[in-house]
Structure 1
Amino acid sequence: MGKSFDIQLIGVFLPKLLSYLHITLFILAAALLLGLLIGFIIVIPRLYQVPVLNRLVMIYVSFIRGTPILIQLVLVYYGLPELLHLVHIDVTNVGAIVFVIITYGLHIGAYVSEIVRSAVLSIDRGQLEAAYATGMTGRDAFIRIVLPQALVIALPNFGNLVISSMKDTSLAFSLGVMDMVGRAETLLTTNHFLEIYMSLAIIYYAICIVLERLFAAGEKRLMRHERKITVDRAGGLQHYS
């Protein structure tokens, strides 16, 4: 049983937890960069229906989406060293935070690929055909027509993914990473469980609000500056702001 609730202790625990916020944000930022790289690479076989590779990517995405992130953390942390050991690569001295970033990168990459794929496929095929009819190359059509619209479509889903991933980083402590939750676990010896977890909730909620507003502002900016393109009945392109 914890000690009697003391709301003033929240003010004591908040700075202690915030001193580890940079670790949480570092994990999130590094995992996002890795995830974006993975996502944009593996979405290519899906968009172009590359034999074999397309099937492998589908299995990978299905596995990531169908298993809890905690299980993925354990599989990467214990399984990756064993696989690398088969090719005589020793990673026993690598810090747990590296395996955490790899896991979240793989996790985010699967979702990014689906976000990008669905956004690109949602663009009316007729717009591309009209672009080709006016003499545009595939590259020009993608950059000038598909990409601006796909970004607007994908941004809300990507924002949700970032926020969800930020909250999921709270599981990094399960591998011994000393982030905010890891620090909170060390403070539990004070027996003020409620105050500690309320402090954590305040921090995570504040970060979520900031991220939500940033992505909302980004979405409005994209929509404001997006070049709206319509295809007339004759098959021509009309550009207007």
Structure 2
Amino acid sequence: MGKSFDLNLVFDFLPKLLSYLHITLLILVGAVLIGLLVGFLAALPRIYNIPVLRTLSAIYVSFIRGTPILIQLFLVYYGLPELLKTIQIDVTHMSSLVFVIITYGFSIGALFSEIIRAAVSAVDRGQTEAAYAIGMTPIAAFVRIVLPQALTIAFPNFANLVISYLKDTSLAFYIGVMDMTGRGQTLGTATNHFLEVYISLAIIYYAVCILLEKCFSLLETRMLRYERQFPVSQ
């Protein structure tokens, strides 16, 4: 049993936990950057039906969607060093933070590939055909015509994905990364006031999520400004 609840400790714990917020944000930002790159690379073979690569991409996405992120963390943290040992590469001294960022990056990438694939499919095929008709190459048509519209369509789902993974970063503590949740665990153990620690963590995570929602909302409004300037006639 923990000690009696003390509201003052909630406010005492907040600055101690906030001092580790940068670790949580570093995990998120690093994972999102990797995820964007991996997501595009995984989406393209399925968009253009490239043999073999399309199947590999589908298997990768299916595996990520079908396994918990915590299991993925353990597989990368314990499995990747063993795999690399077979080709004489030693990464056993690498920081746990690197493994966390890699894991979350590939996890986000799989889900982002599905988001971008659906968004590309939602763009009117006639626009691509018109681009071909005026002499654009397939790559130019995709980059200049399809991709900008697809990103606008995908943005709300991408924003939700980022916010969801912000909360999932709390699992990084299980492989030894001292983020906010990890610091919270040590504070709870040292003081035996776990409830106050978890309330403080909830306040911080909620505040960061609200801030991200506001930022994404502003970005989405800016991306959609052309629709207000040039409304589509019904």
**TM-score, normalised relative to structure 1:** 0.91
Which digits, 9 at most, give the CA deviation of each residue in 1:46-100, with x for residues without a partner?
1111111110110000000010000000000000011001111111111111111
User: How far off is 1:167 after superposition?
Assistant: 0.6
Aligned pair 1:71/2:71, yes or no?
Answer: yes
User: How far off is 1:136 after superposition?
Assistant: 3.9
SS at match of 1:49: coil
Q: Distance in 2 between matches of 1:135 and 1:87?
A: 47
Structure 2 counterpart of 1:46: 46
User: How far off is 1:140 after superposition?
Assistant: 4.2
Q: Is contact 1:149-1:226 (8 Å) kept?
A: no
User: How far off is 1:115 after superposition?
Assistant: 1.1
User: How far off is 1:39 after superposition?
Assistant: 1.0
Aligned pair 1:146/2:146, yes or no?
Answer: yes
Q: Distance in 2 between matches of 1:124 and 1:225?
A: 17
Q: Distance in 1 between matches of 2:3 and 2:88?
A: 51
Equivalent residue letter for 2:62: S
Q: Is contact 1:35-1:108 (8 Å) kept?
A: yes
Q: Is contact 1:145-1:229 (8 Å) kept?
A: no
Pairing of 1:18-29 with structure 2 (within 5 A): 18-29=18-29
- Alpha-carbon RMSD across the aligned residues, in angstroms, is 2.0
Aligned pair 1:193/2:210, yes or no?
Answer: no
Structure 2 counterpart of 1:116: 116
Equivalent residue letter for 1:99: F
Q: Distance in 1 between matches of 2:41 and 2:145?
A: 21
User: How far off is 1:137 after superposition?
Assistant: 3.9
Q: Is contact 1:18-1:180 (8 Å) kept?
A: yes
Structure 1 counterpart of 2:222: 221
Q: Distance in 2 between matches of 1:229 and 1:168?
A: 39
Q: Distance in 2 between matches of 1:83 and 1:144?
A: 40
Pairing of 1:143-182 with structure 2 (within 5 A): 143-182=143-182
Q: Distance in 1 between matches of 2:82 and 2:226?
A: 50
User: How far off is 1:44 after superposition?
Assistant: 1.5
Structure 1 counterpart of 2:203: 202
SS at match of 2:224: helix
Aligned residue-pair number: 232
Structure 1 unaligned runs (5+)?
231-238
User: How far off is 1:228 after superposition?
Assistant: 8.8
Structure 2 unaligned runs (5+)?
none
Which digits, 9 at most, give the CA deviation of each residue in 1:129-171, with x for residues without a partner?
2333344443443344322321211000110110011111000
Q: Distance in 2 between matches of 1:229 and 1:133?
A: 24
Q: Distance in 1 between matches of 2:121 and 2:230?
A: 16
Q: Distance in 2 between matches of 1:136 and 1:127?
A: 11
Between 1:46-55 and 1:134-143, the stretch displaced more is 134-143
Structure 2 counterpart of 1:94: 94
Equivalent residue letter for 1:94: M
Q: Percent identity?
A: 67
Equivalent residue letter for 1:182: G
Q: Distance in 1 between matches of 2:86 and 2:143?
A: 43
Q: Is contact 1:148-1:226 (8 Å) kept?
A: no
Pairing of 1:49-64 with structure 2 (within 5 A): 49-64=49-64
Q: Distance in 1 between matches of 2:128 and 2:25?
A: 39
Q: Distance in 2 between matches of 1:133 and 1:36?
A: 31
Which digits, 9 at most, give the CA deviation of each residue in 1:157-191, with x for residues without a partner?
11011001111100000001010011001111211
